[in-house]
Amino acid sequence: MRILMVGDVVGRPGRYFFMEQTPELRRQKNIDMVVVNGENAAHGKGLTPNIFEELTGGGADVVTTGNHIWDNPKVMEIIDTEPFLLRPANYPEDTPGKGFCIYPVGKKKIGVINMAGRVFMQPPMDDPFRLGDKILKFMEKNCDVILVDFHAEATSEKLAFANYFDGRVTAVVGTHTHIQTADEKILPKGTAYISDLGMVGAENSILGMAVEPVVKRFLTGRPSRFDVAEGAAIYCALLIDIDDKTNKAVKVKRIFIKPQERI
């Protein structure tokens, strides 16, 4: 089995590049399932029903999110009804939506867990380690493969989380920072890992946003309006090969498509 996990899609440039590249990637690389983080897909903040349909129509099977999931109130129209739209599981128990799902791929059942970190993150979240233990008691009995999108700021927290669950989940991939890291690997007990997938968004930007307002905020210390950067986009993801007999990851490969390298 081959799974593609795609970094945070940022605004219209990211959505369009995701929709352009993903179907061809699926075909060329024989990808069985695509998981993408969509929390920044609606003009850099949040998600809407129409944009969720764009992502799923463009090749996504499961859409994860993060701390910006609530930034666009229209997401409330679908957060409880779309079975393959996730928000971090460690929000309080009465939060709308769900933090994990099971997606069928042939005879396999693929569990996807969305979790958020707590270091340097707002709002405060429940403990992802202990909650992860509870979720896995259910997932381990009902899933062949388990994937985790760990939406967090600190690489130390991401590494600690992945090592804690090494061998119990098939993959832990980091999202949130929008910068792809070069530490993809398979941990000692068989879990695929990368600290951050990166983003699908404008190449000439600061994390997918227009450069000048971000620089101005650093220079002045005063608020400034951030808008999504326009222009050609990059596509960042991790390709994970999974042994069909053991359900363990056997190979990982970073995907980084620049505009001039589009498929």
Question: To 5 degrees, how large is the angle CA 76–CA 101–CA 156?
Answer: 90
Q: Please report where in the chains the tokens 């709308």 appear, as a residue.
A: 96
Question: To 5 degrees, how large is the angle CA 234–CA 239–CA 244?
Answer: 160
Q: Please report where in the chains the tokens 């068989």 appear, as a residue.
A: 190
Whether 68 is a known active-site residue: answer: yes
Distance (Å, rounded) from C-alpha 82 to C-alpha 91?
A: 18
CB 213 within 8 A of CB 229: no
Which residues, at least 6 apart from 249, have a Cβ–Cβ distance to it below 8 Å?
Answer: 170, 171, 186, 190, 191, 192, 240, 241, 242, 243
What is the residue type of 67?
N
- Of the candidates 68, 151, 176, 178, the residue annotated as catalytic is 68
The SS3 call for residue 128 is helix
- Could you give the residue numbers annotated as active site? 68
